[in-house]
Amino acid sequence: MRIVIAGGHGQIALRLERLLSAGGHEVAGIIRRPEQAGDLRDAGAEPVVLDLESASVEMVAAVLQGADAAVFAAGAGPGSGADRKDTVDRAAAVLFADAAERAGVRRYIVVSSMGADATHAGDGVFDAYLRAKGAADDEVRSRTALDWTILRPGSLTDDAGTGLVRLEARTGRGPVPRDDVAATIVELLDTPATAGLTLELVSGSTPLAVAVKDVAGN
C-alpha cells in the first residue's frame, strides 16, 4: 500500500513509518519543517514539506493522490496554546479528510485521544485540546465517503512496546507505549473491517493482532 501520514515527524508517526516501510509499504510523511526530512528518510518514509495550517485542500489532495490510506497523526504538540489546538488538532484533521475525499482515498485513520469530546468543559489548554480532538472526530465520523477508524490511546509512554493491549470501544484510562500505538495502526490498516469504529487503546493482556481481529468481528 501507499500510505500518507499527516504529522510525519511525530513520535508515533516516526515509529509507524519504520514499521510500514519494513513491511514493504510505500510511506510518505507530511512535515512542516524541511529540517525534519532526514529523520523521515531514516525511518523509510518520503518527506513532504507542507504546512497543514495554511495549505489548501487542493495542495493536500495532490499529496494524497494515488494513496491507499491516510493517517492523521498531527498535533500542535506540548507548549502550544489553545488557538493552535484548534488550527492543528481540529482544522487540519478536517482539511486532511476533505483532501482524502477529493483524492478518492477512502481509508482514513485518526490518532485521537482518550477523553476527546467536543463538549468537554474547562478553560485550560488541555481542555481545548480535548474539545478540538472531539470536534475533529465528530467531523470525520460524519463522512460517508471515508472508511474511517478513530483510535484513542490512553496516556502515551516511551516504554518499549509489549505487543499486549486492550482495544475496545471503552477501556477505561491507562498507559500505552507509543510503540504499541504504532503497531496497532499497522494492524488497523491491514484490517478494513475496523472501518466505522471508534476505539480506545491501553496496555493489556491481548496480543494486538488478536485484539484488532476481535473488534473487527473476525
Catalytic residues: 129
Residue 80 CA to residue 77 CA, distance in Å, equals 6
Q: Which of 6, 129, 138 is nearest to 64 (CA)?
A: 6
- Helix axes 57-64 and 93-103, enclosed angle (nearest 10): 60
Cβ atoms within 10 Å, residue 82: 16
Phi, psi (degrees; rounded to nearest 5) at 47: -80, 135
Residue 128, classed as helix, strand or coil, is helix
Return d(Cα 208, Cα 187) in angstroms, integer: 8
Grid cell in block for residue 152 = 484513542
Residue the block writes with cell 497523526: 73
Beta strands in 55-196 (DSSP E): 69-72, 107-111, 147-153, 155-157, 164-168, 175-177
